[in-house]
Chains A and B, each alone.
Chain A
Amino acid sequence: MTSMLKNMRRLLFTDDKTEPLLKLTKRDKPIKRFTERELIQLESQVGAKIFGKLPEGVRRREFFNLDLNTWIWHEEVVDEKGEIKEQTTKYEVQPRGILKIQPNYKYSYLEGAELHNFVLAVKNYYEQVSKRIYNQDPTTGKPI
């Protein structure tokens, strides 16, 4: 994973924009152009690691920013019977707060500790993807 990120960073970002074209070889050629979806998938892998090691029974976890106003938390849990249960929670950013939307029409605005934890996770996500995927200093926005 780390090497993949490093590779991607190297392919996506060139510190020296005046680098002669002849220096680019087939080896340096990006495998393909990255789409927004692919970048979100990469971010999601970083986002999943914000919360540490997966707890027992949790098979897969994703946390990512879908668009300006939407954050997604997705988890796949294996229950005692060995069945996989999926849970997706959508967090919608609204002017009056963060609306949590869960299956079966469960809606609630985040408050208290839950709100603060969510904001901390978002902050961590921003810092991690800035550094690890986009090669930028999260504080200054300048290339690392």
Chain B
Amino acid sequence: MNSSPFNTSVEAARKDALQAAEQVTPVSSYEGLTDYDVQMGRTQAENEARAKTLSRAATNPNAQGALIQEQASAKEAAAKDAEKWAEAVLHMAMLIEYMRRSAIDNSKKNQENVDLGEKS
């Protein structure tokens, strides 16, 4: 037989696919299918494949779609979190800045008062 690595890869992939197919949760019913599928002219094989996918997504919490959605939600929450905290940090910096300005003004006024006191 041909010893090309590509062939080997394809063969290995096919094997993996077969093994994966065996692990798929058995489909007991095709509730996911509707008359619409029939109208769309989907073949029995296509319908079966679609039903398998639906079944897998419903029963396996680690299904890729759910995982991607979960990751997206977590990312969105983290982004909102980062925005919220950045705003809080900015707010505290504004208060510090205000205190600094007041302290500088006060020290200036105090010195002016002392100078006036000394003159009088």
> Which residues of A line the B interface, CB within 8 A?
11-14, 21-22, 24, 28-30, 32-36, 39-40, 43, 65, 67-69, 71, 93-98, 109-112, 115-116, 118-119, 122-123, 125-126, 129-130, 133-134, 136, 141
Given A68-B94, A115-B81: A21 in contact with B89 (beta carbons within 8 A): no
The CA-CA distance from A34 to B99 in the complex, in Å, is 13
Summed over the interface, the residue pairs from A and B with CB atoms below 8 Å come to a total of 111
Q: How large is the interface on B (under 10, 10 to 19, 20 to 34, 35 or more residues)?
A: 20 to 34
B96 close to chain A: CB less than 8 A: yes
Contacting residues, chain B, for A112 (C-beta < 8 A) = 78
Among residues of A, the one whose C-beta sits closest to the C-beta of B93 is: A68
Q: How far is the CB of B44 from chain A (nearest CB, A)?
A: 49
The A-contacting residues of B in range 77-101, CB under 8 angstroms, are: 78-79, 81-83, 85-86, 88-90, 92-97, 99-100
Subset of 9 A-B contacts with CB under 8 Å: A12-B110, A14-B106, A21-B120, A29-B111, A34-B104, A34-B107, A71-B89, A119-B85, A136-B99
Query: Are B103 and A39 within 8 A (Cβ)?
Result: yes
Query: Are A109 and B82 within 8 A (Cβ)?
Result: yes
Query: Are A96 and B83 within 8 A (Cβ)?
Result: yes
Query: Are A11 and B110 within 8 A (Cβ)?
Result: yes
Q: Is the interface of B mostly helix, strand, loop or mixed?
A: helix
Query: Are B92 and A122 within 8 A (Cβ)?
Result: yes
The CA-CA distance from A22 to B106 in the complex, in Å, is 18
Q: How far is the CB of A136 from chain B (nearest CB, A)?
A: 6
Q: A119's contact among B89, B96, B113, B116, by CB below 8 Å, is which?
A: B89
The CA-CA distance from A112 to B74 in the complex, in Å, is 11
Query: Are A134 and B103 within 8 A (Cβ)?
Result: yes
Query: Are B113 and A24 within 8 A (Cβ)?
Result: yes
Q: B92's contact among A34, A123, A136, by CB below 8 Å, is which?
A: A123
The CA-CA distance from A67 to B111 in the complex, in Å, is 26
Contacting residues, chain A, for B42 (C-beta < 8 A) = none
B114 close to chain A: CB less than 8 A: yes
Contacting residues, chain A, for B92 (C-beta < 8 A) = 122-123, 125-126
